[in-house]
Amino acid sequence: MGNFTFEKTSIEGVVIITPKVYGDHRGYFMETYKQSDFEEAGIDSVFIQDNQSKSKKGVLRGLHFQKTHPQAKLVRVIKGEVYDVAVDLRKDSPTFGQYVGVILSEENKKQFYVPRGFAHGFLVLSDEAEFVYKCDDLYHPEDEGGLIYNDKDVNIQWPCTEDILLSEKDKNFPTLKDLGFSF
């Protein structure tokens, strides 16, 4: 499809996207999003907000979600490398509580589509990383929820668990069993 390869994952709706990169001795060019190609691949989210963060090695941001205003996200790394994770929180889903993880980096240029109904987070593997993402709904701070990153039932296989740096908020997120809601 156009300038992208769309790879379905083990969880319905979660997609790894690899753009075609056109490069020569001067550098490279690539499309990072084209609505018609994404729609043809079954991704019909209308993105209304772009965000960017910078974090140092060992920072784990997440696992975040919006409770009543869920967001679909299209995420990528423009500097460095992260391990990015989406956890299915859709109560009626056959993959509820399961996750997909992928390495995103400035080198591989992969993107990760996380549909509504998922907790999302990432761990910085490089000295620092710049992370950019599109959202299909606005951020509502009062609506934010979270899932603890080391929930034993979800059992995310983070590539590195030493020296993880978490915000105070992220340290106190509940387990999947304690969430008590569904999208």
Q: In whole angstroms, what is the distance from residue 118 CA to residue 95 CA?
A: 11
* pLDDT of 162: 82
For residue 18, the one-letter residue type is T
Q: Which helix (H) or strand (E) holds 168?
A: helix 168-171
Expressed as residue numbers, the domain containing 94 is 4-179
Beta strands in 89-168 (DSSP E): 99-105, 111-114, 118-124, 128-135, 144-146
Q: In whole angstroms, what is the distance from residue 167 CA to residue 42 CA?
A: 35
Question: The domain that contains 67 carries what CATH number?
Answer: 2.60.120.10
Report pLDDT digits (tens) over 113-135.
999 999 999 999 999 999 999 99
So which residues are the catalytic ones? Answer: 64, 133
Under the banding of pLDDT at 50, 70 and 90, the label for residue 47 is very high
Report pLDDT digits (tens) over 4-45.
999 999 999 999 999 999 999 999 999 999 999 999 999 999
What Rg value do the Cα atoms of the chain yield, rounded?
16
Q: In whole angstroms, what is the distance from residue 40 CA to residue 85 CA?
A: 24
Q: Number of folded domains in the chain?
A: 1
Token pair 């509820």 in the structure block, residue: 96
Report pLDDT digits (tens) over 154-176.
999 999 878 899 999 999 999 99
Q: Quick check: 78 pLDDT over 80?
A: yes
- Of 47, 32, 122, nearest to 83 by C-alpha is 122
Q: Quick check: 51 pLDDT over 70?
A: yes
